[in-house]
Chains A and B, each alone.
Chain A
Amino acid sequence: MDPGVIKSYLPLYRDALLLTLRIGWQGVLLAFIIGFLCVTAIRFKVPVVRVIVKGYIELFRNTPLLVQLFFLYFALPKIGIRLSPEFCGSLGLGLLGGAYMAETFRSGLDNIPVIQQESAESLGMNRLQAFRYVILPQAVASSVPGFLANTIFLLKETSVFSTISLMDLMFTAKDLIGMYAKTIECLTLLVVFYLIMLLPVSILGSFVERRLRHAEYGD
């Protein structure tokens, strides 16, 4: 281990961390939006859309992110659709994550007994009100651990971005090793930087979980 080498690599790792975080969070946000829209379509049995959504979920849950990125970045230009590497990265993460988020959210919804919806409606709420005030808060709360796991999973999936020339943490480390062969330093920094990125997510996630699942945990 050479402290001088580590110091000289730090700015590169910092840039990579920022890039990974930027694309990662865009992807996660997109995943939440897509996931929520998908679940709404399934829940309210929107005709046609519901079938498309199910097809989308199966397609993206059963193909690796690497393959999806290859398709977005290398295949689409052949038919005239040209996307920047960063956009491909966010979009790929969002589409993959959307499928996972939708499934997590759906299982959260399925956890709430039907009788609650019926009871709420018998108290005079309409279908939407019952969903908004009774079902949704409980479903979100019980989905939080899944959301958190998905978020961490998606942030870690950024490690395949080297394929589309994005200098994320993994590629930065591999690239430096390829050029200067300071393997131990590069890999140590890599582990440390992934922890810097993901430990706060993990801590913050648990905090949010406690807050949202107040009803189960109490004070």
Chain B
Amino acid sequence: MKNTLTGKIRTAAAGLGIAGLLLAGQISAVSVSADAGAAFRTLDEIKESGTVNIGVFSDKSPFGYVDEYGEYQGYDVYFANRIGEDLGVEINYVSTEAANRIEYLQTGKVDIILANFTVTEERAEEVDFALPYMNVALGVVSPEDAVIESLDDIGPDDQVIVISGTTAETYLVKNNPEIKLQKYDAYAEAKTAFENGNGVAWANDNTEVIAFSIENEGYVVGIPSLGSQDTIAPAVTKGNESLLNWLNDEIRSLGEEEFFHRDYEETLLDTYGKDYEDTLVVEGGAAPEAAA
């Protein structure tokens, strides 16, 4: 019996060894592909293949969602459709979650991410952002009978709902590490959990929490703007210059026809009304006064 036990340990050690070898192999494989830089498709390759892969949300109404007929809809998707049209290719929509947007670009699973992707310094180290097409800040929504109007209203035992991989999460982890976060990996789940009363508040992009409070009775956006004003932009794999340049040209030329205002009126007007149009929309890559 002693023999068999040592035998088993030996097998386990071999298992660890194999895992180690695999990991080592993985690491060298990664450095090889980083040298080759072949993780993305250039503009010509996309046009040649006849399909562009665009990563969008499937559960974040009204920006990117799947409607009752199974069609992708929303502010981001309206733009994506136009990109497909102007590239002259079919669009293959790939549903993404907040936390895997960078991954999908880095592994070449999508050519463009158009999933309401906020531009941040950390993310800009991993992917290349094109010109922005929307403004955003963070917001916090809470039930109207216990409104959170400042982060100080959050008690030491209270939990705030966030979605993993969003700027709200990163902001709170960095600036308010004392706040307990309840993390979910998809919008739909965070929403349901918040409706079920699992957290005292939900922190997310302010566009999203405003939409939630408009669509659901009994909730108030107590903190409409938290942190810095940011922008939302399409992202491509780091180094994919041909596609990046094309996107920037596209956004500039769409500005001439007021495309994003039309996009707003088609997709966001029902939710936000006319009031938010000039706050949210970024036309032609940058509004002159917001350029600083």
The CA of A202 and the CA of B11, in the complex, are separated in Å by 11
Cβ contact of A184, chosen from B5, B27, B126, cutoff 8 A: B27
Contact B192 A174 (CB under 8 A): no
Cβ contact of B8, chosen from A74, A179, A203, cutoff 8 A: A203
Contact B185 A162 (CB under 8 A): yes
Closest chain-B Cβ to A86's Cβ sits at a distance in Å of: 12
Contact B122 A180 (CB under 8 A): yes
Apart from the given pairs A178-B165, A179-B169, A202-B12, 9 other A-B contacts in the complex at a CB distance below 8 Å = A162-B164, A162-B183, A165-B183, A167-B183, A175-B164, A177-B99, A178-B169, A180-B122, A199-B16
Cβ contact of B189, chosen from A74, A191, A195, A206, cutoff 8 A: A74
A82 CB contacts on chain B under 8 angstroms: 196-197
Task: State whether A171 and B164 are in contact (beta carbons under 8 Å apart), knowing that A163-B185, A191-B19 are contacts in the complex.
Answer: yes
0/1 interface trace, chain B 81-102, chain A, CB 8 Å (1 if under): 0000000000000000011101
Closest chain-A Cβ to B115's Cβ sits at a distance in Å of: 12
Contact A74 B193 (CB under 8 A): yes
Closest chain-B Cβ to A211's Cβ sits at a distance in Å of: 8
Interface centre among A74, A82, A178, A207 (most CB of B within 10 A): A178
Q: Does A78 contact B (CB under 8 A)?
A: yes
Q: Does B15 contact A (CB under 8 A)?
A: yes
> 17 A-B residue contacts at CB 8 Å?
A73-B193, A74-B193, A163-B189, A174-B185, A175-B183, A177-B103, A177-B165, A178-B98, A179-B122, A179-B165, A179-B170, A181-B102, A181-B125, A184-B30, A188-B26, A210-B1, A210-B4
Judged by DSSP, the binding face of B is helix
Contact A179 B185 (CB under 8 A): no
B182 CB contacts on chain A under 8 angstroms: 165
Contact B23 A191 (CB under 8 A): yes
Closest chain-B Cβ to A144's Cβ sits at a distance in Å of: 14
Cβ contact of B173, chosen from A162, A179, A203, cutoff 8 A: A179
Closest chain-B Cβ to A145's Cβ sits at a distance in Å of: 13
Interface centre among B8, B23, B164 (most CB of A within 10 A): B164
Closest to B163 in A: A178
A207 CB contacts on chain B under 8 angstroms: 5, 8
A163 CB contacts on chain B under 8 angstroms: 184-185, 189
B197 CB contacts on chain A under 8 angstroms: 77, 82
Q: Does B106 contact A (CB under 8 A)?
A: yes
Q: Does A119 contact B (CB under 8 A)?
A: no
The CA of A77 and the CA of B194, in the complex, are separated in Å by 11
Closest to A78 in B: B196
Closest to A219 in B: B1
Interface centre among B99, B102, B106, B122 (most CB of A within 10 A): B99
Cβ contact of B165, chosen from A175, A184, A202, cutoff 8 A: A175
Contact A74 B16 (CB under 8 A): no
Contact B100 A178 (CB under 8 A): yes
Q: Does A1 contact B (CB under 8 A)?
A: yes
Q: Does B262 contact A (CB under 8 A)?
A: no
Q: Does B274 contact A (CB under 8 A)?
A: no
Contact A188 B8 (CB under 8 A): no
Task: State whether A203 and B196 are in contact (beta carbons under 8 Å apart), knowing that A178-B164, A184-B26, A210-B5 are contacts in the complex.
Answer: no
Q: Does A183 contact B (CB under 8 A)?
A: yes
| 5 nearest A-B pairs in the assembled complex, by CB-CB distance | A178-B165, A178-B99, A77-B196, A181-B126, A175-B164
Closest to A214 in B: B1
0/1 interface trace, chain B 119-137, chain A, CB 8 Å (1 if under): 0001101100000000000
B169 CB contacts on chain A under 8 angstroms: 175, 178-179
0/1 interface trace, chain B 159-196, chain A, CB 8 Å (1 if under): 00000111001100100000000111100010011001
Q: Does B146 contact A (CB under 8 A)?
A: no
User: Of residues 196 to 219 in A, which have CB atoms within 8 Å of B's CB atoms?
Assistant: 199, 202-203, 206-207, 210-211, 219
Contact A74 B126 (CB under 8 A): no
Task: State whether A171 and B30 are in contact (beta carbons under 8 Å apart), knowing that A178-B99, A180-B122, A203-B8 are contacts in the complex.
Answer: no
